[in-house]
Amino acid sequence: MTPPLLRIGTRGSPLALWQANCVRDGLIRSLGTPAETVEIVVIRTTGDAIQDRPLSEAGGKGLFVKEIDEALLDGRIDLAVHSAKDLPTELAVGTALAATLPRADVRDAFIGGAAARLDDLPKGAIVGTASLRRGALVLRRRPDLKVVSFRGNVQTRLEKLARGDVHATLLALAGLNRLGLSRHATEILDEVAFPPALGQGAIAVIARLGDATTFGALRPLDCPDTAAALMCERAFLAVLDGSCRTPIAGLAQVSGGTLSFRGMVLSVDGARTIEGAIHGPAADAAALGAEAGREIKSRTPADLLAAFG
């Protein structure tokens, strides 16, 4: 009897394909099936088609998952692989998180053209980033810099920097590592001074609710500590997600069953920051994240969370 064929849905960017292949390798190993029984299906999303304006204006994160969710719900694919930080706060009805892979480096990398370190950029230098969080964190540290919107996949952004469009950019170290491009990083930013996006460095696998075969196949790939950290970070985001125009950062770390979380909301210009921290049993991950979110929200001026502030 031929083993069941599992189809993995993914976007077609080199980073997305690397991540899908990572899950594919894990499934082949855990199932012990021939390589050809786990297939990758590339799905083009609305987000991939929009290259000319910031996604926060076009409709946000959901643009990268809508078509993939549809393929999953239609049964054209059995599982979908996403960067956890690109997942919308609410997963599509009928889908659920089936596995969270062990987390990679959570930090952001500074990629300097004009200087190797953020603190050494000349006054008024231009930093390109598509991320409101990175822009706000840069301006918090260097209010004299100019932040410009910068789209495209990791390779495109590195090309734009090499061309001199900007003096520096920032990218997730995890993505650079996966693509074999970490040599471009000229400084690794500390995760406390420069907290990552919620979910950064984690790969999430989504499956159809009720599809016990796929959930079972994915179980051995799951890292419970990373899953707990992600639950906490997503619960924090769900409470705070006033709009995708609010810079939000945060990181949960699990060690010996205890979860520690630090979160931050910033104004886009980085001039105002509201920070909070919480810790407790990893088993209460979601409740801890939500509590941190409510606590920070209670101290956050309404204009920072407003959709068009």
Ligand X SMILES: NCc1[nH]cc(CCC(=O)O)c1CC(=O)O
Among 8, 87, 126, 171, indicate the residue that binds ligand X (CB under 6 A).
Answer: 171
**Smaller CB distance to ligand X: residue 37 or 177?**
177
Q: Tell me: does residue 175 bind ligand X (CB under 6 A).
A: yes
Determine the interface stretch with ligand X among 171-179, 209-217, 261-269, 282-290 (rule: CB under 6 A): 171-179
**181 forms part of the interface with ligand X (CB under 6 A):** no
As annotated, the active-site residues are 86
Q: Tell me the C-alpha distance between 94 and 34, whole Å.
A: 29
Please tell me whether residue 253 binds ligand X under the rule CB under 6 A: no
Q: Which of 69, 86, 211, 291 binds ligand X (CB under 6 A)?
A: 86
Which of residues 139, 174, 239, 249 is near ligand X by CB under 6 A?
A: 174
Asked if 10 interacts with ligand X (CB under 6 A), we say no
| 154 forms part of the interface with ligand X (CB under 6 A) | yes
Bridge partners (DSSP) listed for residue 108? 172
Least distance from C-beta 262 to ligand X, angstroms? 17
**Options 80-88, 212-220, 231-239, 260-268: segment touching ligand X (CB under 6 A):** 80-88
How many chain residues are in contact with ligand X, going by CB under 6 A?
Answer: 10
* In contact, 118 and 110? CB cutoff 8 Å: yes
Among 201, 242, 263, 289, binds ligand X (CB under 6 A): 201
* Site for ligand X contains 200 (CB under 6 A): yes
The yes or no reply on residue 99 touching ligand X (CB under 6 A) is no
Per the CB < 8 A criterion, the answer to whether 205 and 218 are in contact is yes
CB 142 within 8 A of CB 121: yes
Choices 83-91, 143-151, 184-192, 273-281 (CB under 6 A): range interacting with ligand X: 83-91
Contact status: 169 vs ligand X (CB under 6 A): no
**Positions in the binding site for ligand X (CB under 6 A):** 83, 85-86, 154, 171-172, 174-175, 200-201
